[in-house]
Amino acid sequence: MKDRHVNGQRLHAQGITLGYDARTITDDLSVAIPDGSFTVIVGANGCGKSTLLRGLARLLRPRSGSVFLDGELITAYPTKEVARRLGLLPQVQVAPEGITVVDLVSRGRFPHQKLLRQWAREDETAVVEALAATGITDLAPRFVDELSGGQRQRVWLAMALAQQTEILLLDEPTTYLDIAHQVDVLDLCAGLQAHRGYTLVAVLHDLNMACRYATHIVAMKDGAVVAEGHPSDVITESLVREVFGLECRVIDDPESGTPLVVPKHRPVRVTGSTDEEKNHVPAQA
């Protein structure tokens, strides 16, 4: 195996074109995830964030271009080997019917099982740690389909953590969480990055949380990377306008000093009151 840290980046994509059927979503996109970073991907709904994560995790094969993991083409590894190095928490997950929390989290250990070494003490430890880290130890015997949305999201995160991969891709890990649990999950991620040398890539919609936790931000628009770098350099009023079409002020977060995006106040208006809306004819499905 070649040097694991080629160019200092264990995971990078070179000129990848990703799409579904005839539709191209990213065209010739290159991105490198800095080793040991907490990289946060931001961008409007539908701009291709999840598609990019799937491409980086080898769930979606690029039509052209390549993804490299530890200096090799990611396609060159056996599936289990990729899963031992890189974990993905997808945006949408469906649990098998009637499965308990502890059984689902235990599935994160599958890449570590070998034919002759089934369940071992380190698997047990990894599962117990993942349950504790996500604050769901008490939920262990419960059925996943009987949990609330936020509880369920923490179960999936625990499954990804139990996989114990040094590279972890998380697609909206905080979407269903209340503010305290959002902070808990992001603190947990920051701890893995700062103290255990993990490389984290997360898609987040909350720009202010992104600015607090990210060491590196990748901003996407229409399937392309439009800016990347440190949050203070990337998250500006013009970037928010360009990427989200939103007028805002960016001030210093009083707690952390990181950028804080405050949408500009606009008067409430009655929907359907503009000429454009009055004349709008809905498209046929």
Which among ligand ATP, Mg ion, none contacts residue 25 (Cβ within 5 to 8 A by kind)?
A: ligand ATP
**Residue 47 touches ligand ATP, criterion: CB under 6 A:** yes
CA distance 64 to 267: 47
- Smallest distance from the beta carbon of 84 to Mg ion, in angstroms? 25
- 50 Cβ neighbours under 8 A, 6+ residues apart: 90, 91, 171, 203
Which among Mg ion, ligand ATP, none contacts residue 51 (Cβ within 5 to 8 A by kind)?
A: ligand ATP
Binder of ligand ATP out of 33, 38, 40, 51 (CB under 6 A): 51
Site pattern 85..124 for ligand ATP (x: CB under 6 A): ------x---------------------------------
**Residue 55 touches ligand ATP, criterion: CB under 6 A:** no
**Residue 26 touches ligand ATP, criterion: CB under 6 A:** no
**Residue 193 touches Mg ion, criterion: CB under 5 A:** no
Q: Which stretch binds Mg ion (CB under 5 A): 88-96, 142-150, 174-182, 239-247?
A: 88-96
Q: What is the DSSP string of 7-60?
A: GG-SEEEEEEEEEETTEEEEEEEEEEE-TT-EEEEEE-TTSSHHHHHHHHTTSS
DSSP annotation of 143: B
The answer to whether the beta carbons of residues 144 and 104 sit under 8 Å apart is yes
Q: What is the DSSP string of 75-106?
A: GGS-HHHHHHHEEEE-SS--PPTT-BHHHHHH
- Smallest distance from the beta carbon of 45 to ligand ATP, in angstroms? 4
Which among Mg ion, ligand ATP, none contacts residue 20 (Cβ within 5 to 8 A by kind)?
A: ligand ATP
Q: Which of 85, 93, 200, 86 is nearest to 156 (CA)?
A: 93
**Residue 43 touches ligand ATP, criterion: CB under 6 A:** yes
Binder of Mg ion out of 9, 39, 50, 258 (CB under 5 A): 50
**Residue 49 touches ligand ATP, criterion: CB under 6 A:** yes
- Smallest distance from the beta carbon of 42 to Mg ion, in angstroms? 11
- 181 Cβ neighbours under 8 A, 6+ residues apart: 135, 150, 154, 174
Q: Which of 59, 7, 54 is nearest to 33 (CA)?
A: 7
**Residue 91 touches Mg ion, criterion: CB under 5 A:** yes
**Residue 257 touches ligand ATP, criterion: CB under 6 A:** no
**Residue 50 touches ligand ATP, criterion: CB under 6 A:** yes
- Smallest distance from the beta carbon of 191 to ligand ATP, in angstroms? 26
**Residue with Cβ nearer ligand ATP (47 or 186):** 47
CA distance 157 to 86: 14
Which among ligand ATP, Mg ion, none contacts residue 48 (Cβ within 5 to 8 A by kind)?
A: ligand ATP
Q: Chain-centre distance of CA 170, in angstroms? A: 3
CA distance 60 to 25: 12
Which residues contribute to the site for ligand ATP (CB under 6 A)? 20, 25, 43, 45-51, 91
Which residues contribute to the site for Mg ion (CB under 5 A)? 49-50, 91
